[in-house]
A and B are shown apart, each in its own frame.
Chain A
Amino acid sequence: VSVALERPAVRERSRRGIRWPRVGLHLFLAVTAFLWLAPVLWTLYTSLRPFDDTAKHGYVSLPGTINFENYSQAWSQAELPHYFVNSLIITLPAVFLTLLFASMVAFVVARLSFRFNVAMLILFMAANLLPQQVLLVPLYRLYLDLPLPEWLSDSGRFYDSYIGLIAINVAFQTGFCTFVLANYMKTIPASLGDAARVDGAGVVRQFFGVVLPLCRPALAALATLEFTWIYNDFLWAVVLVQSGDKRPITSALANLQGAYFTNFNLLAAGAMLAAIPTLIVFALLQRHFISGLTLGASKG
């Protein structure tokens, strides 16, 4: 009833002319949005101008020249491709393992009944809420002593190795994904699992054949979120990797700052390049990212 009553009223009002509160609202949002984008636009603008141009005219000025010279210089001089490869070597397996581990634990906790289910879920979830520095000191020492075969890590130990970085990212992120997936799996009707069980499907087949395929939306959301988070990680790589050449791009930038990015134009180009994978997520997978965040915030 109320909808039918409201419609003509709205039409009438908009015909009557400008609604000032709405205009004010749009004005507020437009100005805020512009201020919000300003730092990124500024970085982009700086990165596109050659150093000589800004040196001559100042940084806040109309450009004499616009080109991608800073990008190509940052790309080749600072060997950015190498660090991008590092990021991929670390991020892709870490995301895969995080999702695999989390869905396994979530399956056991959400689909099978054990008395320790809640305690188990808390153990995993709470691990993800700790500030990283709380475990950093012993972890650093542990990594120095924990051996790895030479073919897995040329340092011969967890410290300063890709495996070590993958392992800590997986350990730290599994809790969040477990929490989200357990809540998600609880919404899948129990009858589906029961039906598979009647057909003689064991736990493994129920997991891979029935439950996991139904979790695809949640897995897509979490994969997007975890890719971004692990790619963006800074602390683990700064503390647990010694050699600069094994660092992923995000933390490598901090090292490159003094040595290669000798002017702001180059630094801007480097920052934009490092942000590209996350900007792709922003442009193409925003929905997944947001639904991952909100899945985590809703209570199952």
Chain B
Amino acid sequence: MATDTAAAPRRSRLRRRATRLTARDRVAVAVMLGVPLVFVVGLVWLPTLASVYLSFTSWDGIGGLDTISWVGTANYDQIFSIYPPFWPALRHNLIWLVFLAVLPTTFGLLLAYLLDKNLRGTRAYQSIFFLPVVLSLAVVGFIWQLVYAPEQGLINNVLGRTEQGEVINWLGDPSLNLWAVLVAAAWRHAGYIMILYLAGLKSVDPALREAAAIDGASEWYAFRTVVFPALRPINIVVLVVTVIEALRAFDIVFIVNKGRNGLELLSILVYDNIVGEASRIGYGSALAVILLVIALVPIVTFVAHAFGREE
């Protein structure tokens, strides 16, 4: 066995070629790859494929697998035409996405840019903006419930609108609650984005900025033409993170009112169709597949970005 491995260094210049392994090593590699593969394929990829299959079927989820019947695109037809919460949910997800991408993402970049200037107290500021990132979305939901509560909440008390008839029902009013919840989500998202951009800014070549400063460029001009383009790799990661966060949105809304009355989201509808009383597996799966199709855009973008150079 030892002689076999000893041959490896001679081949090390040809690293692209397959590594030669002894029989024992081959078993080791098989275990090292095989066990994690069972988990990831068995619990993530097979269920994902099953979602795609089940989305074309009708099943109550109670009877055995032989009670699954193929219905073609009937689930999709119904979702697009007569399922009342679908279009609002899709719209809310898109609003969520655009909102996160525009406000907290830009704000996170602004904070990162300002805090990158080595101000006095910059570490303290960083910590404060970063605090919500470690909190679970569920706890974020609880905290903001206390902020938004109609009579006892912070905001209405500060605004002086706690009297009957004057109360603003931030989380109960269907024309307001989505925005109220988005502020809570943004509170957490901005800190996350700030951290990513801070790391990105550290890696921007200082010589580039100096050159711009010597040329007498204004700060905004230098940022636009020198700093921001140099942040391109981070921009892609930020975009992917933002889209995926928007598609995953679930916890805060679930805590607030289980995703009803103005807070419908695709993720909530999937949940409703499996756990609710009428468990409609085909329906839930079709909704999941719609979510998957949207999610493929950022996933493919990220994979292409992360692995592009290696191909």
Contact = CB atoms under 8 A, between A and B. Distances in A.
Interface of A: 2, 22, 25-26, 28-29, 32-33, 36-40, 42-43, 46, 54, 58-60, 101-102, 104-105, 107-108, 112-115, 118, 120-127, 129-142, 167-168, 170-172, 174-175, 178-179, 190-191, 194, 197-198, 200-204, 207, 228, 231-235, 238-239, 250-251, 253-254, 257, 264, 267-268, 270-271, 274-275, 278-279, 281-282, 286, 289-290, 293-294, 297-299
Nearest to B240: A129
Given A250-B136, A264-B149, A294-B196, 11 more contacts: A36-B132, A108-B33, A112-B19, A120-B33, A123-B40, A130-B299, A131-B267, A134-B291, A137-B281, A137-B285, A264-B152
Contacts of A132: 248, 250, 267
Contacts of A238: 254
Q: Which 8 residue pairs across A and B have the least CB separation, nearest first?
A: A232-B136, A138-B50, A294-B199, A135-B47, A171-B43, A60-B157, A104-B32, A101-B36
Given A114-B19, A134-B288, A134-B292, A60 B154 contact: yes
A125 B19 CA distance: 23
A232 to B, nearest CB: 3
A198 B10 CA distance: 10
B18 interface: yes
B105 to A, nearest CB: 14
For the residues of A in contact with B, the DSSP-based class is helix
A174 B210 CA distance: 42
23 contacts: A36-B129, A42-B146, A60-B154, A104-B32, A104-B35, A113-B16, A114-B18, A114-B19, A130-B295, A131-B247, A137-B47, A138-B47, A172-B44, A174-B39, A178-B36, A179-B306, A231-B136, A234-B136, A234-B137, A234-B250, A250-B138, A251-B138, A293-B195
Nearest to A126: B299
Contacts of B124: 33
Interface residues of B, number: 115
Q: Among A114, A191, A202, A251, find the residue whose CB has the most chain B CB atoms closer than 10 A.
A: A202
B5 interface: yes
B44 A135 contact: yes
A268 B142 CA distance: 8
A121 B136 contact: no
Nearest to A128: B44
Q: Among A113, A122, A131, A278, find the residue whose CB has the most chain B CB atoms closer than 10 A.
A: A131
A202 B51 CA distance: 41
A202 B24 contact: yes
Given A112-B19, A168-B43, A298-B199, A207 B144 contact: no
B33 to A, nearest CB: 5
Contacts of B292: 130-131, 134
Contacts, number: 309
A176 B119 CA distance: 33
A294 B131 contact: no
A178 B253 CA distance: 31
B199 A297 contact: yes
A37 B138 contact: no
B209 to A, nearest CB: 11
Contacts of A104: 32-33, 35-36
A139 B41 CA distance: 12
A197 B129 contact: no
A126 B187 CA distance: 27
A298 B22 CA distance: 35
A279 B233 CA distance: 30
Q: Among A39, A124, A207, find the residue whose CB has the most chain B CB atoms closer than 10 A.
A: A39
A2 B209 CA distance: 13
B84 interface: no
B119 A293 contact: no
Contacts of A251: 138
Contact of B5 (A33, A59, A102, A202): A202
B6 interface: yes
Contacts of B157: 58-60
A127 B45 contact: yes
Contacts of B143: 39-40, 42-43, 271
Given A137-B284, A297-B199, A43 B146 contact: yes
